[in-house]
Amino acid sequence: MTSPATQVVLPRVPSLGGLYGRGLVASARLGVTGGARSAARALPDVTYVVDDVRAQADHLTAYQHLLHEAATDALPAGYVHVLAFPVAMALMVRPDFPLPLLGMVHVANRVEQHRALTLGDRLAVRAWAQDLRPHRAGTQVDLVTEVASGGDLAWRGVSTYLAKGVRLPDARDEARDDAARQAFTPPVRTGRWELPADVGRRYAAVSGDRNPIHLSPLTARALGFPRAIAHGMYTASRALADVGAARGDAFTWSVEFAAPVLLPATPDVRVAPADDGHEFAVWHPRTGRLHLTGKVTPHP
């Protein structure tokens, strides 16, 4: 799918804090006018563009330390997401975005990195929303973010969000279902993560994603979680870091999120070579409940 032809050039990457404020208002508006939680059919037909985004060395170092990445001058693929995704978020708080920002669940993420971006590169970010579609639990949408440098596409991320309980106007009951969730049997762990209670706050500080569900038990409880939950992209990026240098500079990094990681947590982890790359899984050590699975496949 190609990006909408209508481009809106933003002067800079918007702050996620401000976006959450606007998202709250927009969510409330959708809640009122949406009646029985049904969504409009159309996504904003616009591509947001920010032309000159640059990584800052101290910010990169803080990210690499928090995510257990080697502190090289190459930008980890998850760090590019941190830099670029607010541009996509800006779309999600537009008055004409059909789904409420708050309560949307990040269910999957897929990044194609064609080459490593480096500290000092001038990054051009484009973002749009596509493929609004029914899901058995609500409505899904893809947020696409592309990052180019020197005119060439270097990084492309597709973040899939689910608005639970929100139905498209003409979605039939037998809305397209995901493949039945396969029962998860924990494999042999290769390690575990020690995630302290404040890891949500620490990733929020680095990523700017201060969604209240990640910040404290109190703010998370207000939104229906018993405790703060880890950012999905934090866990996915930790798994990418665990794969290490074997991923190379060009790879596909895909992840599907299952049960959220309630903080603090010490989930069991398996990151191991698979046929054509590395596979990873993260699960609760006692209950065996799956938190996320994914794959990192180097490009040939």
Partner 1 sequence: MAARTPSTSPSTAPSTPPDAPRRAYVLGGNRIPFARAGGTYAQASNQDMLTAALDGLVARFGLQGESIGEVAAGAVLKHSRDFNLTREAVLGSALAATTPAYDVQQACATGLETVVSLSNKIRLGQLESAIAGGVDTTSDAPIAVSDRLRRVLLDLSHAKTPQQRLQAIARLRPKDLAPATPRTSEPRTHLSMGEHQALTTAQWHITREAQDEVALRSHQRLATAYDAGFFDDLVTPYRGLTRDANLRADTSLEKLAKLRPTFGLGLDAPATMTAGNSTPLTDGASTVLLGSAEWAAAHDLTPLAAVVDAEAGAVDFVHGVDGLLMAPVFAVPRLLARHGLSLADLDYVEIHEAFASTVLTTLAAWESEDFGRERLGLDGAFGTVETDRLNVHGSSLAAGHPFAATGGRIVATIAKELHARRAAQVAAGNDAPVRALVSICAAGGLGLTALLEAA
Task: Kindly tell me which residue out of 20, 155, 161, 193 binds partner 1, with binding defined by CB under 8 A.
Answer: 193
Binding-residue pattern over the window 220 to 249 for partner 1, x denoting contact by CB under 8 A? ----------------------xxx-x---
Task: Kindly tell me which residue out of 9, 179, 188, 245 binds partner 1, with binding defined by CB under 8 A.
Answer: 188
Shorter beta-carbon distance to partner 1: residue 120 or 191: 191
Q: How far is the CB of 70 from partner 1 (least distance, A)?
A: 11
Q: How far is the CB of 182 from partner 1 (least distance, A)?
A: 19
Bridge partners of 281, per DSSP, are 270, 293
Q: How far is the CB of 209 from partner 1 (least distance, A)?
A: 21
Q: How far is the CB of 235 from partner 1 (least distance, A)?
A: 14
| Residue 194 engages partner 1 in binding (rule: CB under 8 A) | yes
Torsion angle (degrees, nearest 10) of CA 96, 98, 103, 104 = -110
Shorter beta-carbon distance to partner 1: residue 21 or 244: 244
Q: Contacts with partner 1 in 259-278 (CB under 8 A)? A: 266, 269-273, 278
Shorter beta-carbon distance to partner 1: residue 213 or 243: 243
| Residue 191 engages partner 1 in binding (rule: CB under 8 A) | yes
Shorter beta-carbon distance to partner 1: residue 19 or 239: 239
| Residue 215 engages partner 1 in binding (rule: CB under 8 A) | no
| Residue 183 engages partner 1 in binding (rule: CB under 8 A) | no
Cβ neighbours of 43 (radius 10 Å): 22
What are 241's two structure tokens? 């870091």
DSSP string covering the chain, please? -PPPS-EEE-SSPPPHHHHHHHHHHHHHHHHHHTTTTB--SPPP--EEEEEEE---HHHHHHHHHHHT----SBPPHHHHHHHHHHHHHHHHTSTT-SS-STTEEEEEEEEEESS--BTTPPEEEEEEEEEEEEETTEEEEEEEEEEEETTEEEEEEEEEEEEET-B-TT--TTPPPPPPPPPP-----SEE--B-TTHHHHHHHHH----GGGT-HHHHHHTT-SS-B--HHHHHHHHHHHHGGGG-SSEEEEEEE-S--BSSB--EEEEEEETTEEEEEEE-TTT--EEEEEEEEE--
Task: Kindly tell me which residue out of 189, 201, 284, 299 binds partner 1, with binding defined by CB under 8 A.
Answer: 189
Binding-residue pattern over the window 55 to 84 for partner 1, x denoting contact by CB under 8 A? -------------x----------------
Q: Is the dihedral of CA 298, 75, 83, 294 positive or negative?
A: positive
Task: Kindly tell me which residue out of 18, 248, 285, 298 binds partner 1, with binding defined by CB under 8 A.
Answer: 285
| Residue 40 engages partner 1 in binding (rule: CB under 8 A) | no
| Residue 289 engages partner 1 in binding (rule: CB under 8 A) | no
Shorter beta-carbon distance to partner 1: residue 19 or 265: 265
In single-letter form, the type of residue at position 268 comes to D
Contact positions vs partner 1 (CB under 8 A): 68, 188-194, 242-244, 246, 266, 269-273, 278, 285-286
